[in-house]
Every structure is written in structure tokens, then in C-alpha cells.
Amino acid sequence: MTETTVAGVLAELAALDDPKARAVNERHGDDHGVNLGALRAIAKRLKTQQDLATALWATGDSAARLLALLICRPRAFSRDELDAMLREAHTPKVQDWLVNYVVKKSPHAEELRLRWAADPDPVVASAGWALTTERVAKKPEGLDLGGLLDVIEQRMKDAPDRLQWAMNHCLAQIGISHADQRARAVGIGERLEVLKDYPTPPNCTSPYAPTWIAEMVRRHEPAPAGRP
């Protein structure tokens, strides 16, 4: 992919940059001002282009990196490339899209889950917990759910924000997906009170684990039979 093509995409992204959107994103730690819907429309037009994706990632620009994650081939990256990408991602949105759109589809996901969950960098560790939450929900075979709850109970309360959020998500997912662990998961949430007072908009589910678990279980319960 030529430099001109990369430059053309960067110019298109720059033209879409909205200072108001950038200001909102900056409050959440991000540094781009491109509407995500517009970004997805560009990705739909470009389709999968691994070489272009690699070149856009190398620019270091967050909007370009988000686009790169939409047009790449997830299975084309090596384990070490994905590890390096996470460590240089720098912003929450890029980190989240990397994990959700690329790493989860990679054959290296399980190895990276184990490596990252034990990493001393809390942002990297949060990615490991996000991958663990995915396994809790979809492929729990072989996971020590009780052991995960032990770690959450010991460490979540004092964990840095990003890591705490990821561990809390895992706690809630264990309670939602595994009825035999539900009472313990709810009890841990009640004792630790993590995110109990988190401001939650109307019609949204609170991230406080006991409330989150109760709501999601309620939604999946069979509807009561009607009266004859």
C-alpha cells in the first residue's frame, strides 16, 4: 500500500475530525474526534486490507488505528505483534477495539489471556480479564471459576480503575452465566460495593455487580405461563 493512499485516508479522517466530539472523547481518555459511525462507513467502503491496516496502525494516530482494526485480518497478526499493539495502543477506545475486534478472533487469544492477566501493567491486565470474561460466557470449560472469584475478592476493591472495571465485569458474568456460582458472586459484589454508586442513566443497567446479575438473570428467565 502506497504512502499516498495512507496519506489520503489520513486526510479523509482529518476532514471528519469534530472538535466537539474530540472534547467529549478526551474526557474519557481518548484523543480522536471522528464519529465512529463515519469511521465504520469508511471501513465498509475499504473492506479488508491487511497491508493498509498495518500502515495505518504504524501512523500512531488513534482514528487511523481504529480504522485499521476494522479493516485488518485478525488472524494475520502474530502473538508478539498483538502484545506489542496492546502495549502501544495508549487510549481506551483503541485498546478496547483491539481486544474485542482482533484479539478475540485470533488463534493466540488464550495464550495472550494468560499472559496479560498476570501482567503488572493494569491496562494490560485489564485486557487479560476482558478475555477471561469472554471465556466465562462462551467457553468456560477448564476455567477455575472459584479461583477467579478468589482473585476478584482479594484484588478488585483496590485495583486501578480500568482493571477494576474489567474484574467487575468478570464477576458479573460469572454470576450471570453460572447459577452454581451466582450466590457467591453476588455476595462478593455486596461486600466490596465496587461501582455501587456509579451514575447510571435511565433505562440502563447499573454496573454494580449484584444489580447487574439480577437484571440479566431476570431478562433470561422464562416468561410465566399465562392463566388458562
d(CA 120, CA 41): 37
**Would you place residue 31 in the very low, low, confident or very high pLDDT band (cuts 50, 70, 90)?**
confident
3-state secondary structure 82-134: HHHHHHHCCCHHHHHHHHHHHHHHCCCHHHHHHHHHCCCCHHHHHHHHHHHHH
Confidence at residue 228, expressed as pLDDT on a 0 to 100 scale = 43
The string of pLDDT tens digits covering residues 172-218 is: 999 999 999 999 999 999 999 999 999 999 889 999 999 999 999 99
What distance separates the 2 farthest-apart alpha carbons in the chain? 71
The string of pLDDT tens digits covering residues 119-173 is: 999 999 999 999 999 999 999 999 999 999 999 999 999 999 999 999 999 999 9
Minimal CA–CA distance to 52: which of 91, 116, 4, 105? Answer: 4
Contact assessment for residue 30 and residue 92, using Cβ atoms and an 8 Å cutoff: yes
Confidence at residue 223, expressed as pLDDT on a 0 to 100 scale = 55
Confidence at residue 165, expressed as pLDDT on a 0 to 100 scale = 97
Confidence at residue 224, expressed as pLDDT on a 0 to 100 scale = 56
The string of pLDDT tens digits covering residues 80-122 is: 999 999 999 989 999 999 999 999 999 999 999 999 999 999 9
**Would you place residue 29 in the very low, low, confident or very high pLDDT band (cuts 50, 70, 90)?**
confident
Contact assessment for residue 103 and residue 127, using Cβ atoms and an 8 Å cutoff: yes
Confidence at residue 71, expressed as pLDDT on a 0 to 100 scale = 97
The mean pLDDT value of the chain amounts to 94
Contact assessment for residue 207 and residue 200, using Cβ atoms and an 8 Å cutoff: yes
d(CA 42, CA 59): 17
